[in-house]
Amino acid sequence: MIAPALLDWLLASIDATRPHDVSVGIAWHGRAMVLAWGVLVPIGVIAARFFKVLPRQRYPEVIDSRVWWRTHLTAQWTSLALMGVGMALVLYAPPSPSATAWVDLHGWLGWAIIALGAAQGLSGLFRGSKGGPNDPRGRFRGDHYDMTPRRLAFERFHKTVGYSVLLLSVVTVTTGLWQANAPRWMWLVLGLWWSGLAVIFVLLQRRGMVVDTYRAIWGPDPNHPGNTRAPRRDRHHPGE
């Protein structure tokens, strides 16, 4: 049971000189954005980076697990939907009486997040065809299987923007908490969550859980054209 003094401290606003007084619209805007960028997007990123090959998967005998893809896609598209809801809420909400000069910074960061998030979602439309021996449409040739310039450009853009917007979202959520003068418990919960994600990221990275998408789908056979490119380092081929 939490002591009354500790409970009062947790419920108190981070800045005692300002009230924590936000409208219903602003409150739900914050919840939608925190769920999208603070929770779902990091989960989608971790799934895509570390779980293309599952821990108990008999790789390379068993390839092309779709667990990471479904998790990544669901998390990212749900995040974009929540982003749209959050944007609509803040556009029609009255100004918060607890707003400070941080409102301009948070606003600009928020619009940057929305623009980059939309670009990230739309970039998937330009990733090109898949191809390969297991293509359900029977198209052996494909942008991904052949690693065409189009596919290479998509991967560079998607990964660069993805990690950039993830880092930017941490700053944006933090400025939003300060602008709303959120209670201390919110800061602590988010801080612990982000710290836990960072620890998980480092541990999985050190365990060599990063497997190239191409090899996760088609395996390491050098007869696949994408495997003749620059050597890749992962847990299944540490010497390459």
Chain segment 31-52, per-residue pLDDT in tens = 999 999 999 999 999 999 999 9
Query: Which domain does 62 fall in, by range?
Result: 22-225
Q: What is the pLDDT of residue 92?
A: 83
Does 140 map to a domain?
A: yes
Q: Convert the pLDDT of each residue in 141-168 to its tens digit.
A: 899 999 999 999 999 999 999 999 999 9
Residue 236's closest CA among 44, 71, 70, 61? 61
Give the pLDDT band (50/70/90) at residue 239.
very low
Q: What is the pLDDT of residue 73?
A: 94
Does 3 map to a domain?
A: no
Mean pLDDT over the full length of the chain: 88
Does 128 map to a domain?
A: yes
Structural contact between residues 65 and 54, judged by C-beta atoms closer than 8 angstroms: yes
Does 65 map to a domain?
A: yes
Alpha-carbon span 18 to 100, nearest angstrom: 9
Q: Is the pLDDT of residue 91 over 60?
A: yes
Total tally of structural domains belonging to the chain? 1
Give the pLDDT band (50/70/90) at residue 238.
very low
Does 7 map to a domain?
A: no
Q: Is the pLDDT of residue 99 over 60?
A: no
Does 1 map to a domain?
A: no
Q: Is the pLDDT of residue 199 over 60?
A: yes
Mean pLDDT of 7-23: 87
Alpha-carbon span 3 to 187, nearest angstrom: 19
Does 132 map to a domain?
A: yes
Does 15 map to a domain?
A: no
Give the pLDDT band (50/70/90) at residue 228.
confident
Q: Is the pLDDT of residue 237 over 60?
A: no
Mean pLDDT of 16-36: 90
Q: What is the pLDDT of residue 4?
A: 84
CATH value at residue 109: 1.20.120
Name every residue whose Cβ is closer than 8 Å to that of residue 160 and which is 6 or more positions away in sequence.
none
